[in-house]
Amino acid sequence: MAGHVEDKVMSNVKSCPAYSNMADESTDISNRKHLIFSVMYIDAQSGELRTEYVRDLEIPDGKAETIYKETKDLIETNLSIDNLVAFGSDGCNTMIGSKAGVVTRLKDIKSTLINIHCHNHSPGCKRQFEDIPLFKDVDDTLTHVFKYYHCSAVRTNNLEKIQKPFNETET
């Protein structure tokens, strides 16, 4: 089903004159690296600006070379480099480094590419959330839950036991 949804999104993006690609890497609970792609484009039928999730790839590491290779492959295989106008990411050196960062290497292919730094990754974002009591409470709760499990192998093991029935599927 995911392939069908991805194909539909790719088809929509191909029919628009310009799009931006957004990428971020993350580590899941089992300590595996993932590279997540989204696109932003103007829907040809409705004229609305749309942001769509495209793909979540498990990758061996979070190095610039790996992220660049996967990003370039996604663009060249499924989209068009000609219509790519911007690339959004966090501000880490892997993504925006001036020598071998992903954006720098993409600009070697498309010199007019605009780099967009994700607002949610800026240091000021956390301070803004702290001004809203509900967000601060949620952030504090999630931080405490993380620390509770992260600092104890026994607790983590118990959590995995609780999760196991939810991961099993009937055949």
Q: What is the dihedral of CA 120, 125, 130, 134, to 10 degrees?
A: -30
Over residues 42-71, the pLDDT tens digits come to 888 888 889 988 888 899 988 989 999 999
pTM: 0.65
Q: Is 85 left (phi over 0), alpha (psi -120 to 50) or beta?
A: alpha
Range 2-121 classified under CATH 3.30.420 = yes
Given a contact cutoff of 8 angstroms between Cβ atoms, the answer to whether 57 and 78 are in contact is no
Lookup: tokens for 76: 């060249």
- Residue ranges covered by each domain of the chain: 2-121, 125-167
DSSP secondary structure string, the chain?
-HHHHHHHHHHHHHTSS-EEEEEEEEE-TTS-EEEEEEEEEE-TTT--EEEEEEEEEEES---HHHHHHHHHHHHHHHS-GGGEEEEEE-S-HHHH-TTT-HHHHHHHH-TTPEEEE-GGGSHHHHHHHHTSHHHHHHHHHHHHHHHHHHT-HHHHHHHHHHHHHHH----
Question: How do residues 20-45 score in pLDDT, each as one tens digit?
Answer: 988 888 888 888 889 888 999 988 88
- Residue type for position 167: N
7-64-5 Cα angle (round to 5): 10
Percent of the chain with pLDDT over 70: 88
Round to whole Å and give the CA distance between 97 and 13: 28
The per-residue pLDDT for range 99-125, each reduced to its tens digit, is: 888 889 999 999 998 888 765 555 555
